[in-house]
A = this chain, B = another copy of it.
Amino acid sequence: MVKNVYMDNAATTPVKKEVLDEMLPYFTEKYGNPSSIYRLGREGKAAIDDSRNKVANAIGANPKEIYFTSGGSEADNWAIKGVAFANKKKGNHIITSKVEHHGILHTCEYLERNGFDVTYLDVDENGIVDLKELEEAITDKTILISIMFANNEIGTIQPVKEIGEIAKKNGVFFHTDGVQAVGKIEIDVDDLNIDMLSMSAHKIYGPKGIGALYIRKGVKIHPHIHGGAQEKNRRAGTENVPSIVGFAKAIEMACENIDEHNKKLIKLRDKLIKDIANNISHVKLNGHPEKRLSNNVNFSFEFIEGEALLLSLDMVGVAGSSGSACTSGSLDPSHVLLSIGLPHEIAHGSLRLSLGDFNTEEEVDYVVENLITIVDRLRKMSPLYENVKEDK
């Protein structure tokens, strides 16, 4: 019997029914261009205003500081490039970490090719940056610190508040990629000294292709898309009203009962971690044991390769993801797993199971049962495991 167990909620989530229901009228009835002055247009405008309030509310921001984008990657790109180019007279140095999402890393690499210097901070074995190293990295040329809120692969949560304080103290703008954190960690941009925050709807049961960048008033940043006057002249393009409305509903739902959601997720997460650790040998939990997203489980299974694991799981209806190079068609496994010190061959054999609001204890049991069989089968095929058995 093949079940369908979706445990890749860090990659994307289904749109919740309540969210879709809010969106639907804006496709076919309330379809007016929000820049238009007639009724249909004003309806769209009102929907956007209302949505902006909801998103702002969720992170303790002023609605005027919320700029809708086409997702997390665009928000990341905008924050980094927008601040870099707008402040290049002041300085050309940016500080980030080695475990950022590619939306940050590849953007920083682009800037390096265009006259900027970037410091990529190391992380410890749990994936956390060193605050002293961060402080020491700041020079009088530093214009931006971008450290993610919570890691998408291993779930590790950074000391965001402390980073914000260091940034503030040194007069440097602080951006944090909050794509995985929003809806799972309570965020107050003022309390945390965050100047810019990237968000994405499709990680919290909202639609794909919509997100936002919070930009604190006073941050010097170039517009990202030039054109119409939308988003206060900073991000042109006819507003994606249905998706904006969906994003707002999703973030509202996620942040309303954040503690309750987390309680449920953490229970499942900890059961999954315990059951894997207790039933399968030669495994290692990646990421910080406590400072960890409520929905993230990431294990390395020695002697086997991640893609084979994923395919096998797929065959029994389980959706997960892996830090294996093979899943991405590249050769090096996940930069995050390498950054926390995993050897290549172990990084290759990693599996991320990210939980969501729809997962159940039975599903956790089902996944563990199948994992036991699959890992055993693949290890029996593995020439690396052979040696281990001989060692014993």
Mark A residues whose CB is within 8 Å of B: 6, 8, 11-15, 17, 20, 27-29, 31-33, 35-41, 69-74, 76-77, 85, 101-104, 106-107, 109-110, 114, 200, 202, 207-210, 222-223, 225-229, 236-243, 307, 310-311, 313-314, 318-321, 327-329
Contacts and interface: CB of A to CB of B under 8 A. Distances in A.
A81 B39 CA distance: 36
A214 to B, nearest CB: 18
A107 B226 contact: yes
9 contacts: A6-B40, A11-B35, A11-B36, A37-B314, A40-B319, A71-B238, A73-B228, A106-B227, A107-B227
A241 B13 CA distance: 13
A226 to B, nearest CB: 4
Contacts of A225: 73-74, 77, 103
A242 B110 contact: no
This protein's copies in its complex: 2
A102 B11 contact: no
B8 A33 contact: yes
A319 B33 CA distance: 11
Contact of A38 (B39, B210, B310): B310
A330 to B, nearest CB: 8
Nearest to A104: B227
Contacts of A74: 70, 225, 237
B314 A8 contact: no
A76 B321 CA distance: 35
A11 B33 contact: yes
Contacts of A70: 69-70, 74, 209, 237, 240
With most chain B CB atoms within 10 A of its CB, the pick from A71, A85, A238 is A238
A376 B20 CA distance: 45
A11 B310 CA distance: 45
B20 A28 contact: yes
Nearest to A40: B319
Nearest to A30: B14
A20 to B, nearest CB: 5
A102 B226 contact: yes
Contacts of A72: 237-238
Nearest to A31: B14
Contacts of A15: 27-28, 31
A17 B8 contact: no
A79 to B, nearest CB: 12
